[in-house]
Amino acid sequence: MFHRPRRYAARAFTRPLAASLIACTLPVIGSAQETADAGRASPVVITGTRTEQKAFDLPMSIDLVDKQRISDGQLGVNASEALVTVPGVVANNRQNYAQDLQISIRGFGSRSTFGVRGIRLYADGIPLTMPDGQGQAANIDLATAKSIEVLRGPFSSLYGNSSGGVISVFTEDGPPDFTVSPYGMYGSFETWKAGTKVGGTSGNVNYVFNVSRFETSGYRDWSAAQRDMMNGKITVTPDDIQKFTLVVNYLNQPDTQDPLGLTAAQVAQNPRQAGSVTATQTAADYKVRKSIDNAQVGGVYERKLSEDDMIRGLVYLGDRQVTQYLGVTPGAQAPASSGGGVIDLDRTFWGVDLRWVHRTSLGARPLSFTLGTNYDRQTERRQGYNNFIGPTLGVLGALRRDEDNTVYNFDQYAQAEWLVSDRWILSGGVRYSNVTFRSTDYFIIPGTNPNDSGSRDFDQLSPVAAALYKLTPTVHAYASFGRGFETPTFAELAYQTTTASGAGLNSTIQANRTRNYEMGLKALVGRDTRLNAAIFRINADNEITVQQNVGGRSVFQNAGPTTRTGFELAADARFKGGFFAYGAATYIDATFDSSFTTCPPAPPCAAANVPVAAGNAIPGIPGYTLYGESGWRASWMETAIEARRSDRVFVNDTNSEFAQAYNVYNWRISFRQEVGKVRFTEFFRIDNLLDTAYVGSVIVNGANGRFYEPSPGRAFYVGASAAITF
């Protein structure tokens, strides 16, 4: 079931879901409701150019997930609920809240075994991705999210390090009148969420705040989680030329149980079991868990200097505390070089972003440009401890690691757009990035545990150029090219070798540098139908992967060049009578272009001695994904069927195993009523209608063959909310 078959070329999509996707998208042509809201067909976005513009007029792949799609009939727990609809994006719920979501864009970020790497995350302009490229999606509050913008392709590189794609979440404004909105949800696996949102306007002050608690016993054994969250935004508009916005966010997630991954044999035996650490002990025996306490605040000041000039400044500050107990045996922690089985992290982060936007003309044609600079800094005290005292497991033991780590970036960027004629638009930009890593090691045992202090610097000039041609007023074609880069994260840079002979940060691993090509077509049919298509090719020089793993140390390497080629297609339409349909398809062929050696799946690995053949698929990237939904909406209700198809996914560099392809169908229905000044909503949804057994996410190059994270069978959820206006 999970063993490697004969390699294959591009395959046709599986018929059942392909048929349903075609059924959703074909009626788009010539059938859209002419009087529907045109804003859905050509939404206004910010992420692509840092100024408000219609997505239809931009030479880039950028999608907006609106409030309706984020909230209607959804649980409102994980960003993957909304992101799964965007072409080019793989957003999987690991069923493991200790390791966050698994998110990748056009293959960037697929190697991440925890958190988000390779792509940039933002909430109201505040980075959720640290300067080293490691990001967290758990801070995203869907209850107050107005929209989510997803940028793919060359223009992503204008956001700096690890910007293979950009996901930006924007908080809604408060309503005109003071409104209190309690809400709640309950469902399978003792999953529930409850919260209250308040918002309103008082004079020139607009505000919205949300507090919530989420709990679940988890689909798998030892996967319970609790998450307390607060998110708020205050906007002050003293006059017509200036605005100040304050955003605050707090997340507390104590003792989140980590069930670890499973082997193929364990998935076949019981997909709900916790992963094994030894032949007789599981994640529950080791009390594998993670606690997170994260607080951040940011302020944005915008001022209109003239009709053609605007300045914007952003300042943010945050603190993150993480304690994580790993599933590492006492024997594996015995070598002096080991950092132990407990990670204790105390991190502060802050940054500033300043920009000037100017509108002028060139050759009597409109020209606009943005000049900016930003500085981000991450400082952390990282300590490691044994996860045992004597025979007692899952407790804080002896100190094994003690160091100060600092990462900062200092970037400058420029971006411009010139309307050359009524049909031609030229766009471009450039960003210079400098990323600096510094580490000071305090835990040194001469001859056994080396001094791992050190520093590394990376820099990159990332140019982007694009042209858009208006074939007709409703059909636009574009082409773009850009360069980008991705540094190793601090975890990937931490060790040079696994022995005392090689101290300091890894001096041989290089940043992965990319060349990104894209061509696309955008079409509007009627007033509320959107068709987007894009083809892309991404050449990378230094793909990052594991080299060796021994003595509690993982050393990473550059695997050489890789190529990603593919296409994306999306169609969104509204029809007469309240019917609607949406479909998205992605195909990607991602391969290693040269051979290299790596470690076997079962550590320890003192030397990389397993060959990886040129032409092997980059693990963690499905060959294709399909999403489609079709439904009916009225003023008082909405119902829809959701369908998702994912191709098989290789789980390691050698392509020796893979998770099988799967189809999943969901159904949702929601109701709305208004009684006086109270608006009620209720929803009911069934996930995995056909009770399909499948692996929803994988741990790339997982230790001991624990690659697989199974997803639930059929699950039921119900929820309700009320908005009370005073």
Phi, psi dihedrals of residue 301, rounded to the nearest 5°: -120, 125
CA angle 591, 593, 594 (to 5 degrees): 130
Please answer whether residues 300 and 330 qualify as being in contact, where contact means their C-beta atoms are separated by less than 8 angstroms. Answer: no
Backbone angles phi, psi at 576, to 5 degrees: -65, 150
Closest by Cα among 443, 347, 341, 321 to 396 = 341
User: Mapping DSSP to helix (H, G, I), strand (E, B) and coil, where does residue 620 land?
Assistant: coil
The answer to whether residue 574 sits within a structural domain is yes
Q: Could you tell me the sign of the dihedral formed by the alpha carbons of 503, 504, 510, 512, in that order?
A: positive
Report pLDDT for 502: 57
Give the Cα separation of 71 and 679 in Å (integer). Answer: 15
Q: 608: how many CB neighbours lie within 10 A of its CB?
A: 19
Report in angstroms the alpha-carbon separations of 361 from 306, 397, 424. Answer: 15, 66, 15
Residue 717 lies inside a defined structural domain of this protein:
yes
Residue span of the structural domain in which 83 resides: 15-725
Task: Please answer whether residues 108 and 118 qualify as being in contact, where contact means their C-beta atoms are separated by less than 8 angstroms.
Answer: yes
- In a 13 Å sphere around the CA of 137, the CA atoms on its Cβ side amount to 32
d(CA 516, CA 482): 5
Q: Which residues contact 150 (CB under 8 A, 6 or more apart)?
A: 62, 63, 64, 65, 83, 86, 88, 89, 105, 165, 166, 167, 168
Residue 4 lies in a domain: no
Instruction: Indicate whether 35 pLDDT > 90.
Output: no
Please give the pLDDT value at position 19: 42
pLDDT score, position 684: 98
Question: How many Å apart are CA 164 and CA 120, to the nearest integer?
Answer: 8
Is residue 1 domain-resident? no
DSSP state of 578: G
Helix (H, G, I), strand (E, B) or coil at 21: helix
- pLDDT over 70 for what percent of the chain? 92
* Under 8 Å between Cβ of 307 and 245: no
User: What's the pLDDT score for residue 202?
Assistant: 97
CB 395 within 8 A of CB 388: yes
On whether residue 5 sits in a domain, the answer given is: no
Q: pLDDT digits over 70-80, tens only?
A: 999 999 999 99
CB 378 within 8 A of CB 351: no
Which pLDDT tens digit goes with each residue over 474-527? 999 999 999 999 999 998 998 876 655 556 788 899 999 999 999 999 999 988
Place of tokens 């046709």: 12
623-657 tens-digit pLDDT? 999 999 999 999 999 999 999 999 999 999 999 99
* Angle ∠(131,450,705) on CA atoms, nearest 5: 65
Is the residue at 2 inside a domain? Answer: no
Nearest to 82 by CA among 170, 164, 158: 170
| pLDDT score for 3 | 42
B/e letters for 50-60, b = 16+ CB within 10 Å, e = fewer, are bbebebbbbbb
Q: What is the pLDDT of residue 30?
A: 36
d(CA 712, CA 693): 7
pLDDT in tens, 215-242: 999 999 999 999 999 999 999 999 999 9
* Assigned domain for 10 exists: no
What distance in Å separates the CA atoms of residue 666 and residue 582, rounded to the nearest whole number? 14
Sign of the CA dihedral 389, 394, 399, 400? positive
d(CA 616, CA 590): 8
Interacting residues of 408 by C-beta distance below 8 A, sequence separation 6+ = 131, 375, 376, 377, 378, 435, 436
Residue 446 and residue 562: Cα distance in Å, rounded? 40
3-state helix, strand, coil in the chain (%, to 5): 10, 55, 35
Phi-psi region of 490 (alpha: psi -120 to 50; beta: other; left: phi over 0): alpha
93: pLDDT strictly greater than 80: yes
Q: Is the pLDDT of residue 33 over 60?
A: no
Structure confidence at residue 166 as a pLDDT band (50, 70, 90)? very high
pLDDT (0 to 100) of residue 371: 98
Q: In whole angstroms, give the CA distance from residue 236 to residue 245.
A: 6
Tell how far CA 699 is from the center of its chain.
16
Residue 175: DSSP 8-state: P
- Phi then psi dihedrals of residue 608, to 5 deg: -75, 105
Average pLDDT over residues 435-441: 96
> How many CB atoms lie under 10 A from the CB of residue 238?
10
Closest CA to 408 of 457, 368, 360: 457
pLDDT of res. 598:
87
Distances (CA, A) of 253 to 18, 294, 346: 39, 9, 15
Given this model, what pLDDT does residue 40 score? Answer: 60
Q: What is the CATH number of the domain that holds 502?
A: 2.40.170.20
Determine the average pLDDT of the residues in 594-621: 86
In-domain check, residue 97: yes
* Predicted local confidence at residue 23, as pLDDT: 38
CA distance linking residue 291 with residue 276, whole number of Å? 21
Is the predicted pLDDT of residue 600 greater than 90, yes or no?
Answer: no
Q: How confident is the model at residue 355 (pLDDT cuts 50, 70, 90)?
A: very high
Tell me the pLDDT of the chain averaged across its residues. Answer: 91
List the beta strands (DSSP E) in 203-307.
Answer: 205-216, 225-236, 242-257, 289-304
How many domains are there within the chain? 1
